Amino acid sequence: RDQALSPGAMVLGGFARDMDRDLLAAIEGVLADAPPRHLVTPGGRRMSVAMSNCGGVGWVSDRRGYRYDPIDPESGRHWPAMPDIFTDLAIRAAAAAGFAGFAPDACLINRYEPGARLSLHQDRDERDRAAPIVSVSLGLPATFLWGGEKRSDRPRRIRIVHGDVAVWGGPARFAFHGVEPVADGAHPLTGRARYNLTFRKVF
């Protein structure tokens, strides 16, 4: 069930499955301190995905732009600490995909309700361009759109289910990617929701 998608990019099928309940409990803990919110893009559009963060810095967007900020602008406090179970998983997944020594300092938590989507984009707000990104999916299934170096490259569609972990770095680090609108449904552990954790080394 592992899939090498292109040099530097792979899906580790079910890599996080045996920890799903512990991961979801840790997510609940973080979200109790930093509730998920629908950020606004610099263009003024409300994102359909609700987001929060844990770790040293968190990704935020508003009318002024995108940035990594050590402070949650909603609360004025630091983001919650990254739970050890998150850090351990991210390091193990990166190593399994060939990126030894990954040291994430940020974890973005994306919550998708049915219909929520992420349009095609690149992740390029991170200062450390050598580190990979690790993505953990829980709850409702999704279809990743996996493009190329150029926005106009026709994306591949990749089905991602509960417990799958994707890792991309090296030559795949700046590929365009997105998530199709999540189909309606209910997952036994998350209900009508999909969670995605993305681990990054920003600084």
Of 33 and 66, CB closest to ligand MD3: 66
The reply to whether 196 sits near ligand MD3 by the rule CB under 6 A is yes
The reply to whether 113 sits near Fe ion by the rule CB under 5 A is no
What's the closest the beta carbon of residue 71 comes to ligand MD3, in angstroms? 20
What does 160-177 look like in DSSP terms, one character per residue?
E-TT-EEEE-GGGTT--E
Return the bridge partners of 159, or none: 143
The reply to whether 172 sits near ligand MD3 by the rule CB under 6 A is yes
The reply to whether 125 sits near Fe ion by the rule CB under 5 A is no
Token duo for residue 60: 């935020």
Burial class, 195, CB count within 10 angstroms (exposed 0-12 / middle 13-18 / buried 19+): buried
Interatomic CA distance for residues 74 and 76, integer angstroms: 6
For 122, phi then psi, to 5°, come to: -115, 150
The reply to whether 180 sits near Fe ion by the rule CB under 5 A is no
User: Does 125 appear as a known binding residue?
Assistant: yes
Residue 34 interacts, among ligand MD3, Fe ion, none and using kind-specific CB cut-offs from 5 to 8 Å, with: none
User: Does 173 appear as a known binding residue?
Assistant: no
Contact footprint for ligand MD3 (CB under 6 A): 9, 108, 110, 118, 123, 135, 144, 146, 166, 168, 172, 175, 177, 179, 196, 198
